[in-house]
């Protein structure tokens, strides 16, 4: 009994404060194991290293917070990760980042964003590229291709002028991030728990006269109060704004009695790990109309008929072939993906329906592996209807089958 109880507790939530009677997230181990996974993929890709600008990739590789939203638009912190050895953080801010134990090599580089450098941008970028070239030579990888996750033409040209061969970083980064470590799984459980609470609070607050933006603010507030970091989207819509899903983000639209209110959390919780859960609720004390009722039931049944397919070793294409058939009147408003990975953001892989994909290539080769985190999507609204139901569950792929780690309440008025 004691062993079973311990196993149950270890698959449940841990607290956020340090205690002396259980092991919680080990941040040093988290950083070490992520870097090991990334460097393994760098080697498999035949690269000498990676030059990373995407702040989520930088955080994954180095464990340093980069003010993600700001860094998406500005060349502030960026990282050079060699195939072996310690990475380097290039710092163009003049401000030293806070890192555990100071365990990070940092090098100052000139500012080379246009809004700061203006007409000197090309000259500043050339100086920066020379520092990068010097660093890769020092690491012993100066003659090998370097993967880059994002870069503008001026940046890429400056690196190539220095004699560097630029290749793709996105594939090795995606393949490293797809399998989660034990600490990552624990942090994702925390994020989902916060999202569950946020959705329960929103459900309670849905009353005639509230606005979409007020309801979204409850989600964001809950995330921040529980140690979360950011909201990647503002996907909360009511009534006709729900059809087609993704058409609208939260506005000052007033929610009326009988409206559907649909939401997608897209929240980065503690340590930047993601909860991506969707629910749809009915405003007021009434009953759903026939269109709402049918859409909700179809979405719920599609979701829970598909989840058991997410087992270790099952191919992405096999899942697509086995999910329930979607009636013709709902096909036009299907979600853009059938399912997708998630970790520190939406991640590889994306699974598509057999008859359509946003890439035009269909499903990539691949199978589910243990400790992947997948989000299963269900979005149902008739082509000529008024509203759409959006439901989504977050799954941990285990040796014993998929585990649903999101526990947000549904609106049981729609279900028998």
Residuewise pLDDT in 10s, the chain (416 residues) = 344 445 545 567 777 776 766 677 888 999 999 999 999 999 999 999 999 999 999 999 998 887 788 878 888 889 999 999 999 999 877 666 666 566 678 888 988 999 999 999 999 999 999 999 999 999 999 999 999 999 999 999 999 999 999 999 999 999 999 999 999 999 999 999 999 999 999 999 999 999 999 999 999 999 999 999 999 999 999 999 999 988 889 999 999 999 999 999 999 999 999 999 999 999 999 999 999 999 999 999 999 999 999 999 999 999 999 999 999 999 999 999 999 999 999 999 999 999 988 899 999 999 999 999 999 999 999 999 999 999 999 999 999 999 999 999 999 999 87
What whole-number distance in Å separates Cα of residue 38 and Cα of residue 44? 10
The DSSP string of 163-230 is: TPPEEE-HHHHHHHHTSPPHHHHHHHHHHHHHHHHHHHHHHHH--TT-BHHHHHHHHHHHHHHTT--E
Question: Can you give the pLDDT at residue 10?
Answer: 56
pLDDT for the residue 1:
38
**What is the pTM (predicted TM-score) of this model?**
0.92
Q: What angle do CA 18, 277, 179 make, to 5 degrees?
A: 65
Residues 339 and 322 sit within 8 Å (Cβ to Cβ): no
**What pLDDT, on the 0 to 100 scale, is given for residue 387?**
96
Whether the Cβ atoms of residue 361 and residue 398 lie closer than 8 Å to each other: no
The residue whose two tokens read 């058939």 is 325
Output the pLDDT for position 103: 67
> Do residues 391 and 279 lie in contact, with contact meaning Cβ atoms separated by under 8 Å?
yes
What domains lie within the chain, and their CATH numbers? Answer: 27-176 (3.40.350.10), 179-414 (3.90.230.10)
């Amino acid at each position: 009994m004691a062993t079973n109880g311990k196993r149950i507790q270890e698959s449940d939530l841990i607290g956020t404060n340090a205690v002396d009677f259980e092991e919680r997230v080990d941040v040093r181990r988290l950083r070490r194991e992520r870097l090991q996974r990334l460097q393994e993929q760098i080697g498999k890709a035949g690269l000498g290293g990676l030059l990373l600008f995407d702040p989520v990739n930088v955080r994954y590789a180095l464990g340093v917070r980069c003010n993600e939203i700001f860094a998406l638009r500005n060349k502030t912190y960026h990282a050079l990760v060699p195939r072996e050895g310690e990475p380097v953080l290039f710092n163009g801010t003049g401000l030293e980042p806070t890192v555990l134990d100071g365990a990070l090599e940092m090098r100052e580089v000139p500012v080379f964003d246009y809004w700061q450098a203006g007409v000197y941008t090309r000259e500043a970028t050339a100086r920066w590229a020379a520092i990068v070239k010097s660093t890769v030579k020092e690491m012993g990888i100066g003659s090998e291709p370097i993967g880059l996750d994002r870069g503008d033409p001026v940046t890429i040209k400056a690196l190539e002028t220095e004699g560097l061969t630029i290749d793709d970083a996105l594939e090795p980064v995606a393949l490293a991030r797809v399998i989660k470590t034990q600490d990552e799984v624990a942090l994702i459980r925390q994020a989902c728990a916060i999202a569950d609470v946020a959705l329960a609070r929103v459900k309670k607050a849905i009353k005639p006269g509230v606005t979409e933006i007020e309801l979204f603010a409850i989600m964001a507030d809950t995330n921040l109060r529980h140690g979360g970091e950011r909201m990647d989207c503002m996907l909360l819509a009511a009534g006709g704004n729900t059809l087609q899903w993704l058409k609208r983000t939260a506005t000052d639209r007033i929610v009326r009695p009988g409206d559907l209110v649909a939401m997608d959390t897209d929240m980065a919780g503690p340590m930047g790990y993601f909860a991506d859960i969707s629910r749809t609720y009915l405003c007021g004390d009434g009953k759903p109309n026939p269109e709402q009722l049918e859409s909700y039931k179809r979405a719920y049944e599609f979701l829970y008929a598909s989840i058991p397919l997410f087992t270790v070793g099952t191919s992405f294409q096999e899942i697509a072939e086995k999910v329930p058939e979607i009636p013709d009147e709902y096909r036009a408003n299907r979600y853009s993906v059938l399912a997708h990975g998630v970790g520190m953001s939406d991640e590889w892989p994306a699974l598509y329906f057999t008859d359509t994909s946003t890439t035009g290539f269909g499903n990539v080769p691949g199978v589910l592996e243990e400790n992947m985190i997948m989000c299963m999507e269900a979005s149902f609204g008739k082509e000529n209807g008024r509203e759409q139901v959006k439901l989504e569950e977050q799954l941990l792929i285990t040796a014993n089958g998929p585990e649903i780690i999101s526990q947000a309440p549904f609106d049981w008025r729609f279900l028998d």
